[in-house]
Amino acid sequence: MSPAAAPMSQKPLGLFPPKDFWDSLPPPPLPTYVCDGGLVVRSKVTDKHRKVPRECDCWHCRVHGPRLKQQWADHLDEMLCQADEDGLSLFLASIPPTPCAWAAFRRLLARHGASGRYGRLRFDEGCLVVTTAPVGRPVSLDEARAVLARAVAALPFDRRISSGRAWKLPPKPPSEWEVVDELTEEAAAQVEDRLAAVGIVVEDDGTWIPPAEWVEDSWLYIDFLKYLRGEGPPPPRNTLGACPSPDPWPR
Ligand SMILES: [Zn+2]
């Protein structure tokens, strides 16, 4: 290292690198990994079941990586509009891609009372930070939104977007469905055939209800899920004590 070169952490914050480097980056290649298979989910309210695609929520997945990216892009865009509506100014800063530069920058954000209001895109070349703290370059709402949209699009899938507390992604709304089993791609493709083979009707909305005696008896239920996975025979129907409905002998 030449004596003139200052360590990264001593470079002026908010000024590195000087150009909008993300505009010159080639579009990132799509991830090669694809999550496959499916999930068996069961309603918490009724005995309805469904097969749904697996939700890996993974940046490295070809299906969910782009979806996650879009979710972040939409969310941060909303945060920028909200901040503008609240009368806050917006700033863009680029900082070196080193932990100590980031630590110093976070202290700066905290000093300006905006530690929770920032979004950060981590590139190999540096981090882009959009924030309401007066650090970096002041920008209009339109410019902030446009730069962020371009930068998110240029972000490789092995990099990350993160945010401060106030700009966190909202939690997923509670679902009526809970996961009861996982299926391989092969098993997921055969679920409908297996259900038909034991006389279970799949409704138009994709839901189906297993026989009551299978749902009520945990051992039979486990056998049923195993059968759907292709790992065993279906459980017996109408076992001792179970009565076919409707009651054939009305009193
Ligand atoms: Zn996935």
Q: Supply angle C-alpha 134, 135, 139, rounded to 5.
A: 70
Distance between Cα 79 and ligand 1 center (Å):
26
Helix (H) / strand (E) containing 187: helix 185-197
Provide CB contacts within 8 A for 87, sequence distance 6+: none
Q: Report the candidate in 218, 125, 141, 230 with the shortest Cα–Cα distance to residue 185.
A: 230
Cis peptide leading into 250, omega within 30 of 0? no
Distance between Cα 61 and ligand 1 center (Å):
5
Report pTM. 0.70
Distance between Cα 82 and ligand 1 center (Å):
30
| Bridge partner residues of 61 (DSSP) | 33
Helix (H, G, I), strand (E, B), or coil: what is residue 195?
A: helix
User: Which residues have a beta carbon within 5 Å of ligand 1, which is an ion?
Assistant: 35, 56, 61, 63-64
First-to-last alpha carbon distance for the chain, in angstroms, is: 96
Distance between Cα 158 and ligand 1 center (Å):
14
Q: What is the SS3 string spanning 123-173?
A: CCCCEEEEECCCCCEEECHHHHHHHHHHHHHHCCCCCEEEECHHHCCCCCC
Distance between Cα 139 and ligand 1 center (Å):
35
- DSSP of 60-81: TBTTHHHHHHHHHHHHHHHHHH
The pLDDT profile of the chain, 251 residues, written as one tens digit per residue, is 344 443 443 444 444 555 677 888 888 999 888 888 899 999 999 999 999 988 788 888 888 899 999 999 999 999 999 999 999 999 999 888 888 888 998 898 888 877 789 999 998 888 999 999 988 889 999 999 999 999 999 998 877 899 999 999 988 888 899 999 999 989 999 999 999 999 999 999 999 999 999 999 999 999 999 999 999 999 988 645 545 555 555 55
Helices 64-85 & 141-154 angle (0-180, nearest 10):
170
Q: Could you say which DSSP state residue 33 is in?
A: B
Distance between Cα 99 and ligand 1 center (Å):
29
